[in-house]
Amino acid sequence: MKHVFLDTNILLEVILERKERDACNQIMQAGRDGEVTLFASYLTFANMAYILKKRKVPREQVYHAERIMERLLTVLPMDGDQLRTALRNEVKDFEDMLQYQSAIAGQCDCIVTINTNDFVEFSSLPVYSPEGLLDLLDEESV
């Protein structure tokens, strides 16, 4: 079974019903169906709360959304070793490096993000768009 790390933007697509939400919802369904195991970092939940608060989403809705996501995902811890490794790699987007370190520590097979180019600079893991992961899952099921 494929262990799939979801970047924060994947969850926000679902919660905020943005343009990539259909593909992201299909990924969430694949997790519910047991086709994949979905992972996110502890940081993802802080990032989501911050972004939703900035968008003036009522606190009750933020907590509701976070509770739903927490039940669908395996939440990976983050630690000092991951932080130190991220700090040694002076990349363009520090937050993405933290997410990557969490995915590596959680032994994920790939990362799924809307912004695949943000990870190309440093990722040794395959990085897929939502559609790219769905295509891969379709190929594997044939």
Q: In this model, does residue 8 exceed pLDDT 60? A: yes
Q: Name the one residue in this structure whose structure tokens are 């363009």.
A: 92
The parent domain of residue 121 ranges over 2-137
- The CATH number linked to 122 is 3.40.50.1010
Residue 51 lies in a domain: yes
> Cα separation of 86 and 82, whole Å?
6
Residue 94 lies in a domain: yes
Residues of the chain with pLDDT > 90, as a percent, come to 84
The DSSP code sequence of 51-86 is HHHHTT--HHHHHHHHHHHHHHSEEEP--HHHHHHH
Pick the closest to residue 65 from 13, 114, 23 (CA basis).
13
Residue 15: predicted pLDDT: 93
User: Residues 31-48: what's their mean pLDDT?
Assistant: 95
Residue 82 lies in a domain: yes
Residue 4: predicted pLDDT: 97
User: Residues 32-38: what's their mean pLDDT?
Assistant: 95
How many domains would you assign to the chain?
1
Residue 36 lies in a domain: yes
User: Residues 25-39: what's their mean pLDDT?
Assistant: 95
How high does pLDDT run on average in the chain?
A: 93
Residue 118 lies in a domain: yes
Residue 142: predicted pLDDT: 55
Residue 1: predicted pLDDT: 56
Residue 142 lies in a domain: no
User: Residues 83-88: what's their mean pLDDT?
Assistant: 91
C-alpha dihedral over 123, 120, 53, 59, to 10 degrees? -50
- For residue 132, give the amino acid letter: G
Residue 92: predicted pLDDT: 87
Residue 121 lies in a domain: yes
Residue 78 lies in a domain: yes
User: Residues 121-137: what's their mean pLDDT?
Assistant: 94
